[in-house]
Structure formats: C-alpha cells, structure tokens
Amino acid sequence: MLLAARAQAAALRIQVLLPPHIAEASDQKMDQLEAVMTREDEEVRKDLGALADSLPQGNSDVEAAQSSYNRFSAVRTQILALSRENTNVRSLSLSLNEKRKASMTCEGILLNLERAIRNEATARAPAKPR
C-alpha cells in the first residue's frame, strides 16, 4: 500500500505543477517546474516498478496503473509542449498591453477628427444677424 500511495502522491504533485507551468512566461521558471516534474515522474515509475516486483507476475491492477500512468505521461508531454509555445501568455499580453495602446491611439485620432469636424461646421455656419 505504501508504494501505491507514494506513486499516487507523486503523480498528483505532477498534476498540480501543470497549471503554473501553463501560466508561466519565463523559460527559466518552466525549466525549474519541469525538473521537479521529472523527479516526481522518476518516483512514480520507481514505486510502480517496485510494486510490480512485489506482486505475482502479471498482476492486472499494477499493469492497469502503469498503463494509466503512461497515458497520463503522454498527455503531460503534450501539455508541456503546448505550454512552451506560450500562446496564452502572449495573447494575454497583447490583449492587456497592445490593445490598450491601440485603443488610446484610436481615441486620440477620433477626438481630433471630432474637433476638426466641429471647427469646420463652425467656420461654414452663416453669421447670425445682430
């Protein structure tokens, strides 16, 4: 039971590290998170291997656990690859920074255009009799 619990705990620690990795913009911090995940992965595989060795050959529960963990590892690898592209961080930066700058520029241009139209309308208006 101890081996199974340790393997499960290490797998859960990996799972908990995925969201911070996805949100991280720094490659250095991503490297650190991945290093921790690699150590946890080694722990899971070591414990599952020891569990398999301690039980009769072909134990279906251990084989199912190893198969499930292999699928989880494959998904984790895909998540990390997508996370490294940082599209979510870049799009957030664009929407928060670049959009704001573009909006302010457009507002300034529209304000100048409105003033120019008012000035033109005032210049063309007939003089009021006194």
DSSP output for 4-40: HHHHHHHHHHHHHHHHHHHH---HHHHHHHHHHHHHH
Count of structural domains, the chain: 2
Averaged pLDDT for residues 78-89: 84
Answer yes or no: do 102 and 71 share one domain.
no
Dihedral, CA of residue 14, residue 19, residue 21 and residue 24, to nearest 10: -160
pLDDT tens digits for 115-126?
999 888 787 777
pTM exceeding the 0.75 threshold for the entire prediction: no
* Number of other CB atoms surrounding residue 98 within 10 Å: 10
pLDDT at 130: 66
**Which residues span the domain enclosing 61?**
1-85
pLDDT tens digits for 41-83?
999 999 999 999 998 887 899 999 999 999 999 999 999 998 8
Answer yes or no: do 74 and 13 share one domain.
yes
Answer yes or no: do 80 and 93 share one domain.
no
pLDDT at 129: 67
Answer yes or no: do 75 and 102 share one domain.
no
Answer yes or no: do 57 and 113 share one domain.
no
* Token output for 107: 């507002």
Answer yes or no: do 92 and 62 share one domain.
no
